[in-house]
Every structure is written in C-alpha cells, then in structure tokens.
Structure 1
C-alpha cells in the first residue's frame, strides 16, 4: 500500500504544481496591458502650449510734404523722410525714365540734374531737395524737339540696350554746362583756366561716373565731343 502511494501521488499535489486557468489569464492580461502602455502614451494628443505674444508691427513713419519743381512743373509730394529722390521720381512723381541700376551710387543710371548739378538720385533723400529744381531725362527735350545731346546720341549710335542712357544723357548735359562754366576735372592741365577744348580724355574723365554695360563708350565720347564742338 505504501508503494501505491509513492507511484501515484494524490490529485491535490498535482493541482498545486500546475498553474490554474485563472492565474494564467491574469498573467496574460497583465502582459498585454504593460505592452500597450507606451503606445497609448505615444498616441495621446500633445498638450496645447500657450502661443507667445507677437509684438505689434512698427508704426508707419509719418509723411512729410516735399515740394519739388521737376522738369519745370511743380510737384507737392507726401513722402517718408527716408524716401530717396530716385524713388520719389519713379514711384510718386511717375517719372520712370530715371533708372534704378545698382542702387549704390556706382553705375550712374539714376543721374539727374538738381539745381544745375548732376547727382546720383539713389544716394540722396527727397526731403533734402525740397524747393529745388530737378531735371530728369523727360525734361531734356522741348516738347517734340530733342536736345542737342539727345540728337547726338542718336546720330552717333551712343547706346545699345538703353538702360544707362537716361543717366548718360543727364550727365552729358550737365558736363557741357560745367565745361562752359570753367569747371576743371582731374585731367585738366591748368585748373585755373578752362581747357581750350573738351578733349576725349576730358570727356572720359567727366563721364567716368556713368557705366555702360554694353560698352558704347567710344560712341558716347563721340556724341559729347560733337555737341561740345558745335557749342564751343
């Protein structure tokens, strides 16, 4: 009888060694819950953060009245103090003949004549010229009659693309007036006396502030020389 008990243990001991069905289900459920926890956290919507306050845009600069006489016509403009003369001519006066080239005062495409002196209109503010008389390329001709400089540029083919031509024309016009007034240049031999003639070297030096990307310099010099010879 003792041998029978040794070979066949009681059923209670067998159940104690095997996991119960309830414990197995509890363990499986716990494992699934632990595995799903990171995914659940990843799928949670992000917590809305408060939007930082945006600074209001700066107030517009106040406008100033600027009175100019452009090509013999009075203009009353309302401009910001930082508006260049070039932008005032193009954007406010509607005179787009003056070109914006480099906008750095290096190419001369924006040259105009202010109170008889040629200037780069991109380098000066419009408010600095209030009350002055400004001549642009639109004011060189008298109605339908071209000026002598304009005719000479056409006759000597002194332009190609034409972008620099308005500045070249204004510069050449002022150059001739400066020469007749006796103004010297860097190549003038005797600065106390006007040169007897406007030589090619004089013209090149006096026109050196106006660049031509097409390279029409030889014809420009010929055109200015022709006008200077006729008006000497």
Structure 2
C-alpha cells in the first residue's frame, strides 16, 4: 500500500550517523544471530579462542627408591695382596728347598763330627722340608680362596727356623777374621730368608684378603659369610 510507512533506515550501517543505534534489518557486524524459538542457541559465526593447558611443569610419576643389597667385589675376584702373598710363599719354598738340599748333603758327608750338633741339624733340615710343604700348600689354598691357615703356619715355621739359624750363627766360637766374616755372611743370609715370610704373612693378614675369603661360596671356614642372599 502507498500509505504504509516505509523503513527509511539505510541498509548500509556505514551510512548511519555516528552515535545512532543500528536500525537496519541485518544483524550488526560481529554479533551472533538471536536464538530461535525453543531456547536452542545457535553456534557463533566466529571461532572461539583455542584453549591451552594450564601453565606449569609437567607432572612425573612418583619416584620410588629401590632397596639394593650392599655392593661387594665379586666372589671370584682375588685381591692383589692375596696373589702377592701366595707368590712370595712359593718363592720362599723354592729357596728353602735348595738350602735344605745343600744342608743335607753337608750333614750326610760327615762334615759335623759332633753327634748332638748333627742331630740338631737333621731336625732343622726336616723342619725346613715341612716348611716347604706348608708354604706350597698354603699358597695353593690362598690362590683358590679356601683359606690362609696353612700359609700362616708355614710362614711362622720359616720365621722360627730363621731365628734358630740366627742364634746358632751368632753364638759360633772364634773371633778371628775368617770366622767373623763367615758369621756375618750367615747372619745376613738368615735375615734375608726371614724377609719374604714376614711380607707374605703381613699380606695374608690384610683386611682385603680376609673380606675376600669371607665372600667365597660357602663362606670362609669358621667365619660368617657376608655374601648377600638374593631372593
């Protein structure tokens, strides 16, 4: 109808005066259309801002402290002190065997006319043979980690024999130059032969050897085993 009022508002929002409310039939820019009847909202024509996780450090699972048995050297690991003690025992046994053979030859040849002195010499020589056997057996026992008792007994016997020689050589009669020189050589030889048993005995009694023997399978005889028991 010609008399009906017409909407004079411009379709272009930019043509409206500044500060005038929008009167057009279109939706204003940057606005969502109204919800239709029924209350169901329509999605916005503009994408929403992406959501980011809350700031902070990443969460790690809780840490649990595992209980491990104390660490020891492997049971098969032989310390150097044990090896050195066994080697010195073998060397001492070889030297003692040589001196014993020479002594037996001298006593058997009748160089000593005194029967008592000859009997004492034979006893000392037999003791030296026992010492040789003990040193060899003790060195083998220590190398295999089965004990050190035989080695200790053998070195102690060697030291006792050296002490007997020292006393015998120091009490030899005569003070002339030839006798004095011989006494010095004999005393020095007996002292030298006592050095290796002392070192071997000291090495066999060190803490590393004791702990190694205790860690052997089955434990050191007569001593508690420190080998950790695994489940």
**Short-chain TM bin:** under 0.3
Q: Which structure has more RCO (C-alpha within 8 Å, separation ≥ 6)?
A: 2
TM-score normalised to structure 2 length: 0.25
Which has a greater percent of strand?
Answer: 1
TM-score normalised to structure 1 length: 0.25
